[in-house]
């Protein structure tokens, strides 16, 4: 399987935008096309595009009225943008631990962390695989807690027959350059709640009174001297039309772009099947479909991480990434560098950040190896899988 990361469709649509010379009369053409196409692919009624996949989550929390004094449960084992979104809304992040085999947020830990202040949970479909939504929804049953799916790393994943992105109250996706689909930067939110989608778009669009189901304000209205523009506070989180054009083309190509990563991941799984006691990949339970943003495995001992990587590179490997530092162990939390958001967080929670609240995540993080799957020529992926197999042979022995 050989495909292009950026193909003819992307160039065609971007050129169309450039040829429009950014006239405001045609400024939302590709935004509308993208949102309609993406919602359809994820089996949702509505989609709202954004400048990036962090603004998406911040805006969702604002649209739900979550802020000072409210708590949002998150996983520490992910990019810290998930935590940033909570802090940007002036709410308090509360960290739940993860499952040692799937590496995803653990429903039993979520249940332990829920208090009367809990207003939302942001789950992460880590590395391309969803968490256990049935158990998470059981933990929140009857508690009026919003569920926001952070699916930056999961396009066309599936959970027990449901498309990931159609399960929670809303779902956030990212078009950042490393993701399955990319427009360089960008994000999008899917939901089946029309009222929420309208509130979300107003927050995305500077609180404009004139936006609702449609993303565009009529020129005849905005030219009137008595026109009132802003009905509420909002942010300028709209996706630029050039990015929307690229993301629309990528959305049309979603299946082939995701398939390329899944095919690469299969090769890595095969390469390590004889070494499961030493290097165990992310567990995929029955009824789940992993879209493999990256192929991830944990090595049996954290002290082996660097020596294994050195041998892999020596053998011709493309290198691989570590997992992110746990969010609560990052300097912005440990040094309380929160741009004064700490004044909205109780002393109890601030103290909790210093007490290593997620032991499973802390054990996993230094052992995880993230291998890239974005090989657009399958022969390149095969070569890397062969190198991985050779490295396992040499490092662990037969």
Can you list the residues of the chain whose pLDDT is less than 50? none
Task: Round to whole Å and give the CA distance between 194 and 325.
Answer: 37
What's the topology of domain 8-253? 3.40.640
- Out of 179, 298, 309, 372, the active site residue is 179
Instruction: Determine the pLDDT at residue 143.
Output: 95
Instruction: Determine the pLDDT at residue 227.
Output: 85
Rounded to 5°, the CA angle 25-27-31 comes to 135
Give the residue among 292, 298, 306, 270 at the shortest CA–CA distance from 388: 270
Instruction: Determine the pLDDT at residue 216.
Output: 60
Instruction: Determine the pLDDT at residue 54.
Output: 98
Give the residue among 379, 357, 396, 344 at the shortest CA–CA distance from 89: 344
Task: Round to whole Å and give the CA distance between 272 and 388.
Answer: 7
Statement: the pTM of the whole predicted model exceeds 0.85: yes
Q: What tokens were used for 132?
A: 């256990």
Domain ranges within the chain, ordered by starting residue: 8-253, 256-323+362-396
Q: Cβ of 112: how many Cβ atoms within 10 Å?
A: 12
Instruction: Determine the pLDDT at residue 285.
Output: 98
Contacts for 159 with CB less than 8 Å, ≥ 6 apart: 130, 133, 167, 287, 288, 289
Task: Round to whole Å and give the CA distance between 71 and 336.
Answer: 18
Q: What tokens were used for 221?
A: 């209205």
Instruction: Determine the pLDDT at residue 211.
Output: 83
Instruction: Determine the pLDDT at residue 213.
Output: 61
Class of the domain covering 256-323+362-396 = alpha beta
Active site residue 113: no
Q: Tokens 């939504």 sit at which residue?
A: 133
Q: What is the pLDDT of residues 231-265, one digit of tens each?
A: 999 999 999 999 999 999 999 999 999 999 999 99
Cα–Cα distances in angstroms (integers) from residue 135 to residues 21, 105, 106, 126, 132, in the given order: 50, 11, 9, 17, 6
């Amino acid at each position: 399987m050989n495909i292009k990361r950026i193909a003819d469709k992307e160039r065609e649509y971007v050129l169309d935008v450039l040829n429009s010379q950014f006239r405001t009369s045609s400024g939302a053409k590709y935004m509308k096309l993208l949102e309609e196409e993406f919602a359809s692919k994820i089996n949702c009624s509505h989609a709202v595009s954004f400048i990036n996949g962090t603004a998406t989550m911040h805006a969702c929390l604002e649209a739900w009225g979550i802020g000072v004094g409210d708590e949002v449960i998150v996983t520490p084992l992910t990019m810290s943008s998930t935590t940033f979104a909570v802090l940007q809304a002036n709410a308090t992040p509360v960290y739940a631990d993860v499952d040692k085999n799937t590496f995803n947020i653990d429903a039993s830990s979520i249940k332990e962390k829920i208090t009367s202040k809990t207003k939302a949970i942001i789950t992460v479909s880590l590395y391309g695989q969803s968490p256990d939504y049935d158990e998470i929804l059981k933990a929140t049953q009857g508690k009026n807690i919003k569920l926001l799916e952070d699916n930056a790393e999961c396009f066309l994943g599936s959970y027990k027959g449901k498309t990931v992105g159609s399960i929670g109250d809303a779902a956030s996706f990212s078009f950042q350059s490393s993701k399955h689909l990319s427009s360089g930067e960008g994000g999008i939110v899917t939901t089946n709640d029309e009222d929420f989608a309208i509130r979300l778009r107003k927050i995305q669009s500077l609180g404009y009174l004139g936006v609702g189901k449609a993303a565009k304000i009529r020129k005849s209205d905005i030219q009137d001297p008595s026109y009132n523009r802003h009905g509420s506070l909002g942010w300028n989180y709209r996706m630029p039309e050039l990015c929307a054009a690229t993301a629309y083309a990528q959305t049309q190509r979603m299946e082939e772009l995701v398939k390329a990563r899944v095919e690469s991941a299969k090769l890595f799984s095969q390469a390590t099947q004889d070494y499961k006691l030493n290097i165990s990949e992310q567990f995929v339970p029955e009824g789940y479909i992993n879209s493999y943003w990256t192929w991830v495995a944990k090595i049996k001992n954290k002290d082996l991480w660097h020596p294994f990587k050195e041998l892999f590179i020596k053998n011709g490997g493309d290198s691989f990434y570590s997992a992110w530092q746990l969010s609560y162990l990052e300097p912005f939390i440990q040094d309380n560098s929160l741009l004064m958001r700490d004044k909205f967080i109780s002393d109890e929670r601030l103290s909790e950040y210093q007490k290593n609240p997620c032991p499973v995540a802390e054990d996993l993080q230094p052992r995880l190896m993230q291998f890239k799957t974005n090989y657009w020529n399958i022969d390149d992926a095969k070569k890397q899988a062969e190198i991985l197999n050779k490295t396992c042979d040499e490092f662990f022995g037969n």
